[in-house]
Structure 1
Amino acid sequence: MKNKILSINNTIILALVVLGACRTGSKTPGVRQSSGVYQYDNEKKTTVQRKSGPYYSDRQAVTGRNGMVASAHPVASRVGVDILKAGGNAVDAAVAVQFALAVVYPGAGNIGGGGFMVFRDKAGQAYTLDFREKGPEKAHKDMYLDSAHNVIPRLSITGHLASGVPGSVAGMVEAHRRFGKLTWAQVLQPAIDLAEKGVALTEREALGLNRTKKSFLQVNPDKRYFMKADTTDWKTGEVLVQKDLAQTLRRIQQEGRAGFYEGETARLLVAEMQRGGGIITEKDLKRYQAVWRDPLVGTFRNYKIITMPPTSSGGVALLQLLRLVEPYPLRLWGWNSDSTVQVMIEAERRVYADRAKFLGDPDFVKVPVNQLIDQDYLKTRWSDFTFARATDSKNVKGGVLPGYESLETTHFSVVDQEGNAVSITTTLNGGYGSRVVVGGAGFLMNNEMDDFSVKPGVPNMFGLIGNQANAIAPGKRMLSSMTPTIVEQDGKLYMVVGTPGGSTIITSVYQTILNVLEHGMTMQQSVNALKFHHQWLPDHTIFENGAFSEETIQKLQARGYKLEQLTNSLGRMDCILLRPDGTLEGASDPRADNTSVGY
């Protein structure tokens, strides 16, 4: 049946392609004229570059045969490789990287946040772990609204009330308990050493701490965490020492889960909440559990996609996006040609509308995952699409399913010598989270409560619209866009992918995968490649400078697409590709301090 549907889809698309070719005056029968930087060369049977400038930079890949770690910070990546060299497996290295990032990358690395893990073992068995934060017991759906039921600005973003119950420590404890090889003490020690001895600040980290100093002082008026003793600005290379955080990490090292969710650390966290009007209690902490969920598995052409199910929306959205564009000849049209971009934008428009309508915590609401990724359903989502003009987002709603009842994060990828692979995305939500530092414990709290639908129809800090499925409730996990993903080819490990980026995570992962599978890029080229993003509402497409040629821009605008060039960048990818010769290609994003280390 599936092959029959695909055959029907391909017939429909071929007809559209031929019509499009006639309309645009393409010289190649059946193929729309490409205006992209890359196009498929029929004679060479490969994707070739038409023009210069498709990349953010010319950074080269890192290779290794025995193991690879790609993370947001060079020190954290080296920690992970050291664990691999000491005999640890990919999960040991991932746990060590997670705690190291909490020290060296305070803007997003964390023990006060949460996230998701996709793990594929050397035998090909896949597992997914949900350690997303939860709403505290005292949370309620109107907690960020005034007496007139209007949203109180920034209440869900800054300060103590913005924090959900953290899940990162529970997630790492559970991952190590089930799959770790080295001792818990061994994988925690590098982070403790970094906190005690200090870490030299990169230029980006120094700038980030300096920009955030005023906000830290406003939220934590009696504290001086992340500031120099003389309160002057940080300079590149200066050493940040975090003694209180080191003590917190030692308690976690010695007591495991209880070292965070009970005892002294829990007491300090709850005291901090009470001091600032937060609502997390000792009971909330003690009750928190990370949850193993069934992996979300799908296919794209001949590749197997292993990704994260809800509470993340990322996996469902990624599979929808890949399946929606699968019938189209993207390789023939070329990388970021007007036709390629058009069908990708239209797929994104429909998928983000579905996200808003259907997705939430599966422990609280019915999430119709299988229906959303069904080929017949996805075919109906194209019913109002035409190459002649852009679809108006006002006319796009979440789809109709029979029987249904109604920007700071970090990612890292690890592959070990045996072929075990880990893809983890973890977050505080906004940069430096809620800006709340737990007094005496030295770590930042998240502002993940903003990822709930604070009020149906009102956008969150990333502009995402939510509905009742993602309404605030005690003990409920807020919806996420995190999309840690592993790709197989012919039953073998092929690619480990992920990125931070709020609502742009899904589309960045989507483009990075397509760049390799459809456009013949290497892993590093795919990461370097310039990106774009559309999320249904607001109804415009943002793009990195140079992502579209002038010809592509003109053609898209003529069809009614609203395009907005960014002054900053999209994504912070950290990916690993297994090459045909058995070497690992580590590809970290040149847009930040991201670094791959292999051996």
Structure 2
Amino acid sequence: MLHRSFLALGLAAVLAGLPACQRQPATYTTAAGATALPAPRAAAPVTARQAMVVSAHPEATRIGLEVLRQGGNAYDAAVAVQFALAVALPAAGNIGGGGFVVYRHADGSLGTLDFREKAPLAASRDMYLDAQGNVRPGLSTDGHLAAGVPGTVAGMVALHQKLGKLPWAQLVAPSVELATQGLRLTAKEAQGLNDTRADFLRLNKHVPVYAHPEGRPWQAGDVVKYPELSAALGRIRDQGRNGFYQGETARLLLAEMQRGNGIIAQADLDQYQPAWRTPLRGRYRQYEVISMPPPSSGGVALLQMLQMLEPYNLGKLGWHSAAAVHLITEAERRAYADRATYLGDPDFGRVPVAQLLDHKYLRTRTQGLSPTGPASSSAQVQAGAALPPYESDQTTHYSIVDAQGNAVSCTTTLNGRYGSKVVVQGAGFLLNNEMDDFSAKPGVPNMYGVIGGTANAIQPGKRMLSSMTPTIVTENDQLRMVVGTPGGSTIITSVLQATLNVLDYGFDPQQAVAAPRLHHQWLPDHIDVEEGALSPAARTELEHRGHKLNPRSPWGRIDMIERRKDGTLVGGADPRGDDTAAGY
């Protein structure tokens, strides 16, 4: 079965593609009063009996599913989907970025792979500050100096070598073909390229393929071919890691650095290695939640929030009731305060994960909270004093379950939309702007408004803090859910809400990913609100309690697979994007 969600441009059209209840909120009476919304209506979810792929683009989903049909496992499909997204979704899919994988074998064994980018060896703590010590705007977000050392290709090679089944070349070949033959742009993709055209021309000394060669705007249905990217992918297909970090592609990348005064050198490419890390595991009610450890902040923050919320009956309070939203917001506020202070690359200093996830510590963080209480002030909510002192929007995600029951949750990114907007001349791929995920200056927000501390300061060879939260949920030692999303600092709260939507409110995956969302990240001190996320009564009550509400256009692209008790796989593809679920 195949489900495609193509939405027209603009907020109104996006909302038109969401469940009707999100456009015309209704209420029903709960223990919290008449402030909750009913379960959202949504398109029927995709179901399958054996295997499923949910990704941000129909071509990537198609290629992943073909690999599974050819006898590949979930890890083979992940490799194929990753390279397909590098062609089909240039805003976030990549070979010039990085990411994280959380996986679960059918036998229950677990693991994570960190292929996050690193700071170049020539990087320095104050490299984005002026002579007065102030952050120089744009230097960490646009252009060559914003790029970290890419980890995607090394990560995919490591994943395949350890867990793959089919030959490497067979997994990369479909993306080479896709780049050669080209693909038709959706309306959203055409608009994204048009919106970024001026930056492409400003930040590159050549005219990259992403800027229309005829100088006209891209239109939905236009076919784009990527010959330089096809050649680069061909070298990866034929030579594996060396096809990117050595030889012609490396030469082109280093030449691009020289053109734009970037600092990535051959030594950076030679030394880059992905890292296998121990997954974070926590309990929420009868479920086990498995997520990514640092340098991703996502797993720690997600498990903190779930444990802080566990004492409360969210289902009884009602979905998006004022009482439930208040509790969730207060949990988010405290988790993001801890994130800003304590989290960073564990290879460069102590990250107190065990203390942050300690039940006693989390109880002290929520002491005095109640469903009927007033809003806290973020100015008064600091990182937990119980811990010892310690000196961290455009991404994409895919979820895969194969016929054997292996599961992969992978979030991968260039950071901002189209990353640094720098296209490597002759190789046709975009470079990330992940250096902005470091704390350019402690206490100064990054492009997502997230505050960072000294734990996430720039150091040569260090991985920058991330919000990516690829997650797997089990119940009674059986796979229950695979979930993740892009969205910068909103990733963690989006995964939290989608998880609660299924586990506490009984939504199916399509309802769970389509439902309107809320977000709070400690600072700035307000709740971001998608249209239709709150009933009028809930808005009034939350404001009366002291919460500040900030209307915001839709964010995130959640991709979810739920495994039902009878073994049926149910997919949810976020209608905010071109996300697609398919299975057999």
* Equivalence map 1:86-105=2 (5 Å): 86-105=70-89
Partner of 2:35: 35
Q: Report Cα offsets for 1:564-587 as digits up to 9, x if no partner.
A: 111x20220011001122111111
What CA RMSD, in Å, does the superposition of the two structures yield over aligned residues? 1.3
- Pairwise CA distance, 1:224: 3.0
1:195/1:243 contact within 8 Å kept: yes
Partner of 1:224: 208
Answer yes or no: is 1:111 the counterpart of 2:95.
Answer: yes
Q: 1:420 aligns with which of 406, 411, 418?
A: 406
Answer yes or no: is 1:139 the counterpart of 2:160.
Answer: no
* Equivalence map 1:111-510=2 (5 Å): 111-383=95-367, 385=369, 387-406=372-391, 407-510=393-496
Partner of 1:41: none
- Pairwise CA distance, 1:227: 2.8
- Pairwise CA distance, 1:64: 1.1
Partner of 2:5: none
SS in 2 for 1:312: coil
Cα distance between partner residues in 1 of 2:482 and 2:578:
19
- Pairwise CA distance, 1:236: 1.1
Cα distance between partner residues in 2 of 1:492 and 1:27:
35
Given residue 157 of structure 1, which amino acid in structure 2 is its aligned partner? T
SS in 2 for 1:395: coil
- Give the percent of matched residue pairs that are identical in Structure 1 and Structure 2: 56
Q: Report Cα offsets for 1:508-559 as digits up to 9, x if no partner.
A: 0000000110011111111111110000000000111010000000001001
Cα distance between partner residues in 2 of 1:408 and 1:81:
24
Given residue 557 of structure 2, which amino acid in structure 1 is its aligned partner? R
Given residue 573 of structure 2, which amino acid in structure 1 is its aligned partner? S
Cα distance between partner residues in 2 of 1:139 and 1:328:
46
Partner of 2:500: 514
1:368/1:404 contact within 8 Å kept: no
Q: 1:535 aligns with which of 510, 515, 521?
A: 521
Cα distance between partner residues in 1 of 2:550 and 2:346:
35
Cα distance between partner residues in 1 of 2:368 and 2:383:
13
What residue ranges of structure 2 are gaps of 5+ in the alignment? 1-27
- Pairwise CA distance, 1:401: 3.4
- Pairwise CA distance, 1:591: 0.7
Q: Report Cα offsets for 1:316-335 as digits up to 9, x if no partner.
A: 00000000000011111000
Q: 2:571 aligns with which of 568, 576, 586?
A: 586
Cα distance between partner residues in 2 of 1:94 and 1:282:
28
2:355/2:387 contact within 8 Å kept: no
- Pairwise CA distance, 1:237: 1.2
1:59/1:590 contact within 8 Å kept: no
Q: Report Cα offsets for 1:322-377 as digits up to 9, x if no partner.
A: 00000011111000101100000000000000000000000001111111011100
Residues 547/231 of structure 1: CA separation in 2 closer, same or farther (3 Å cut) = same
Partner of 1:21: none
Q: 2:532 aligns with which of 512, 523, 546?
A: 546
- Pairwise CA distance, 1:384: 5.1
- Pairwise CA distance, 1:159: 0.3
* Equivalence map 1:31-70=2 (5 Å): 31-33=31-33, 35-38=35-38, 49=39, 54=40, 58-70=42-54
Cα distance between partner residues in 2 of 1:477 and 1:425:
16
Given residue 160 of structure 1, which amino acid in structure 2 is its aligned partner? H
- Pairwise CA distance, 1:33: 2.8
Cα distance between partner residues in 2 of 1:162 and 1:452:
11
Cα distance between partner residues in 2 of 1:216 and 1:484:
30
Answer yes or no: is 1:524 the counterpart of 2:510.
Answer: yes
Q: Report Cα offsets for 1:288-312 as digits up to 9, x if no partner.
A: 0000000101110000111000010
Q: Report Cα offsets for 1:165-217 as digits up to 9, x if no partner.
A: 00000110000000000000000000000011111111111111111111100
SS in 2 for 1:196: helix
- Pairwise CA distance, 1:60: 2.1
Q: Report Cα offsets for 1:489-513 as digits up to 9, x if no partner.
A: 1100110000000000000000000
Cα distance between partner residues in 2 of 1:404 and 1:211:
44
1:34/1:333 contact within 8 Å kept: no
Cα distance between partner residues in 1 of 2:436 and 2:279:
26
- Pairwise CA distance, 1:226: 1.3
Given residue 273 of structure 2, which amino acid in structure 1 is its aligned partner? Q
Q: Report Cα offsets for 1:37-87 as digits up to 9, x if no partner.
A: 13xxxxxxxxxx4xxxx46xx222111112100000001000000000000
Partner of 1:19: none
Cα distance between partner residues in 2 of 1:324 and 1:432:
36
Partner of 1:84: 68
What residue ranges of structure 1 are gaps of 5+ in the alignment? 1-25, 39-48
Given residue 209 of structure 2, which amino acid in structure 1 is its aligned partner? Y
Cα distance between partner residues in 1 of 2:313 and 2:114:
35
Q: Report Cα offsets for 1:113-136 as digits up to 9, x if no partner.
A: 000000101101001000000000
Partner of 2:20: none
Cα distance between partner residues in 2 of 1:402 and 1:593:
43
Number of residue pairs the alignment of both structures matches: 555
- Pairwise CA distance, 1:34: 5.0
Q: Report Cα offsets for 1:267-300 as digits up to 9, x if no partner.
A: 1101101110110000001100000000101110
Cα distance between partner residues in 2 of 1:498 and 1:352:
18
SS in 2 for 1:363: helix
1:311/1:478 contact within 8 Å kept: yes
SS in 2 for 1:438: coil
Cα distance between partner residues in 1 of 2:140 and 2:211:
25
2:200/2:211 contact within 8 Å kept: no
- Pairwise CA distance, 1:149: 0.3
Partner of 1:11: none
Cα distance between partner residues in 1 of 2:389 and 2:482:
33
- Pairwise CA distance, 1:410: 0.1
Given residue 288 of structure 1, which amino acid in structure 2 is its aligned partner? Y
The worse-fitting range, judged by mean Cα deviation, of 461-470 and 258-267 is 258-267
Cα distance between partner residues in 2 of 1:34 and 1:328:
19
Q: Report Cα offsets for 1:223-257 as digits up to 9, x if no partner.
A: 23213331211111111100010110111111111
Residues 324/210 of structure 1: CA separation in 2 closer, same or farther (3 Å cut) = same
SS in 1 for 2:543: helix
2:287/2:473 contact within 8 Å kept: yes
1:137/1:284 contact within 8 Å kept: yes
Cα distance between partner residues in 1 of 2:454 and 2:279:
25
SS in 1 for 2:465: coil
Cα distance between partner residues in 2 of 1:352 and 1:229:
44
Given residue 247 of structure 2, which amino acid in structure 1 is its aligned partner? G
